[in-house]
Amino acid sequence: MGDLCAGRVAVVTGAGRGIGREHALLLAEHGARVVVNDLGGDAAGGGSDLSPAQEVVAEIEAMGGEAVVNGANVADFDAAGQMIHQAIDTFGSCDILINNAGILRDRMVFSMSEFDWDAVIDVHLKGTFAPTHHAATYWREKVKAGGEAFGRIVNTSSPSGIYGNVGQSNYGAAKAGIAAFTIITAMELVKYGVTVNCLAPGAFTRMTSDLPGFEKMDEETQEAMSPRWIAVPAVWLCSEAAQNVTGRVFDVRGEQLGISEQWHLGPSTTQPDDPADLTDVMAGLMAEAQLNSGMHGLPTEGPGRPGPGL
């Protein structure tokens, strides 16, 4: 189909199903050799099964590409390192890392257990940090030894982490952390020739099929929200063409592609030293502030947002 990633070696986590599967397949279509990582658990993170990753590898091989299976838990720091080195040992390099693995344990905060919180933060946030650490170390050492590094990292945030969504405080906090992690690591790694970007996708997958707004989608809408759309900018961001794009969060939903620009300093003023004097000052700031965005990235009103009562 194309050659945007010809000769590159990619590691894709959570690549057995959904968005990760599409990343792996489209990277292979564009010439990359792929380490297909997937623990193979259910949507809540339980169990393990290598067959989804094996099936993706078989699909890649059937199209004439090269791929290998990796069943590591990406939140296991040492296993994440072994995954990066599997790419190096098998294919001679590691050029691309797409951090995509994730689970859902949605609860209202008063119903959320410590395990629900820890499990989601572990897979999403630590599961992004751990592979990134090992890949970044490899690229840095390569440059320090006098070589040149081609490094591309694409992380996975969510509209829930950028805009907020009821019932997903664990998931949203992890995804907001991934967006911040993307911005910071982009600054840290730019001098080594590494770009770091992030996708905040909306797609119809196994993980989203039961969520409000997704559970009643007809087949035509499901196709319009196919996870393959998410892979299109991901593969481009992994290419040579994206060498000057880093530290960005891209909102991707079907054919819609945008850049999230949620966090910036809005109206500001000099505050008094007595909290009793803040009421009028705060009312003025809130009146000037833009509305927070809802899950579709559009301004809304509601609790904690500027409204007529303030």
Whether residue 175 lies in the annotated active site: yes
Q: Is 228 exposed, middle or buried (0-12, 13-18, 19+ CB in 10 A)?
A: middle
192 is catalytic: no
Q: Would the pLDDT of 117 be above 80?
A: yes
9-44 pLDDT, tens digit per residue, is 999 999 999 999 999 999 999 999 999 999 987 777
Instruction: Give me the count of residues in the chain.
Output: 310
The catalytic residue among 142, 175, 239, 260 is 175
pLDDT above 60: residue 302 = no
**pLDDT digit string, tens, across residues 229-279:** 999 999 999 999 999 999 999 999 988 999 998 677 889 999 999 999 999
Catalytic residue among 171, 239, 260, 293: 171
Can you give the pLDDT at residue 67?
99
First to last CA, the chain: 55
**b (16+ CB within 10 A) / e for 102-132:** bbbbbbeeeebeeebbebbbbbbbbbbbbbb
Give the domains, in start order, of the chain with CATH numbers. Answer: 9-259 (3.40.50.720), 264-310 (no CATH)
d(CA 210, CA 204): 10
0.75 surpassed by pTM: yes
SS3 for 130-141 is HHHHHHHHHHHH
Residue in 157, 158, 239, 293 annotated catalytic:
158
